[in-house]
Amino acid sequence: MVRRNLYIIALLALALFSGRALAQPQTLYHTPLEQSGSPATRGGFTNAAFQGNYAGIGIVGANMAGVVGVCHMDGNGRFECTFTFNVPGEEGERMVFPSTGEGEYWVNSNGTGVAHEIITLPDGSIDEFDLDFVITRAEAIGSYVVATEVIGMARQAGDPSGTLLTSHLTRLPDVGMALATSAEEMETAQQAALPPGIYTTTLAAEDIPPAFPAEAIPLLSGAWEMNFTDAGRFTVAKDDEVVVEGHYTSTQDEVVLTDERGPLACGKPGAETGRYRWQLADEMLTLTVVADECDGRAVILTAHPWPAQE
């Protein structure tokens, strides 16, 4: 009976945010999303769109067993979950077990994705699995554009009869927003993110690190302007010509920028997105690199503070 219950528990875990039937082991894969589904369209979602706390529920079979839980998505491709399982016990009783999981996710710009999870079962054993998901609802929250509802399907059957395992995740309100009791408090919570607006700076040849090739100096030096909109979009212009377009999300101290198009957009695979710590003081925006594989963007954004423009 214990062995059977652990099998069901594994199925339930997969029904919430992933999928693998222990009775049917297979060679699984998890790949960058642009390779795992239909071609992505530009101007859509990134990992940053999947952030916050999400409530999840899963059912196995004809209400034979179920799972509820909450997963936290960090907006950078990592997540952690806590589960409560309810499965059949002996002599018609029910058995309830807690469990935890963690893993990675990748979001295509078209809203499809893949999650890879490592889950710890009640007996201490660990298992790994994958699922495909799609963002079915999204909303603009302050400067965020985030997924509010996500549906997933396991890549394997839930049992030898071919039961399909599905998951349903719904985003919970941010605590700061949920506790706001007046329009003034709501406005304050929204303003915790990077304020939309236009910021400018100028780079000289001596601002370019010596490690950069000589041909990079005329590309990086000049007058720069960044325009952040309240719809989560941004543009970067050099000498009055737009050279990068993309989208961004921000918290009270970090901003994630994703280049989409433009002659100077970061096109190296995996380098489209950069993460920065931001500070706005005396109308001066200062950016500090947290993680960015696009060296040119990092130089432009961090060489000098960016004065806010009227």
pLDDT band for 63, please (50, 70, 90 cuts).
low
**pLDDT at residue 67 greater than cutoff 90:** no
The answer on 169 and 50 residing in a single domain is yes
Average pLDDT, the chain: 77
Domain end call among 178, 212, 247:
178
Domain end call among 119, 151, 178:
178
Kindly report, residue by residue over 97-128, the tens digit of the pLDDT.
888 889 999 998 888 999 988 878 777 888 77
The answer on 54 and 20 residing in a single domain is yes
The answer on 170 and 203 residing in a single domain is no
Supply the pLDDT for residue 237: 94
Supply the pLDDT for residue 41: 39
Kindly report, residue by residue over 126-146, the tens digit of the pLDDT.
877 788 999 999 987 655 578
DSSP string, 44-97: S--GGGSEEEEEEEEEETTTTEEEEEEEEEESSSEEEEEEEEEEE-GGG-EEEE
Q: Which residues contact 29 (CB under 8 A, 6 or more apart)?
A: 130
The answer on 140 and 209 residing in a single domain is no
Supply the pLDDT for residue 144: 55
The answer on 214 and 158 residing in a single domain is no
The residue among 162 and 125 whose pLDDT is bigger is 125
Q: For residue 8, is it within any domain?
A: yes
Domain range for 27: 2-178
The answer on 113 and 231 residing in a single domain is no
Kindly report, residue by residue over 265-288, the tens digit of the pLDDT.
887 777 889 999 999 999 999 999
Give the span between the Cα atoms of 239 and 300, in whole angstroms.
Answer: 13
SS3 of the chain: helix, strand, coil, percent, to 5? 20, 45, 35
Q: pTM value?
A: 0.50
Give the span between the Cα atoms of 117 and 230, in whole angstroms.
Answer: 34
Residue with tokens 């377009």: 245
Characterize 73-105 residue by residue with b for buried, 16 or more Cβ atoms within 10 angstroms of its Cβ, and e for exposed.
bebbbebebebebbbeeeeeeebebebebebeb
Supply the pLDDT for residue 20: 37
Q: How many structural domains is the chain composed of?
A: 2
Strand partners, 129: 117
Q: For residue 192, is it within any domain?
A: no
The answer on 139 and 18 residing in a single domain is yes
**pLDDT at residue 178 greater than cutoff 90:** no
Helix (H, G, I), strand (E, B) or coil at 17: helix
Q: What is the largest CA-CA distance in the chain?
A: 79
The CATH number assigned to the domain holding 166 equals 2.40.128
Q: In Å, what is the CA distance from 290 to each residue of 86, 200, 205? A: 41, 21, 24
The answer on 141 and 257 residing in a single domain is no
Give the span between the Cα atoms of 196 and 89, in whole angstroms.
Answer: 55
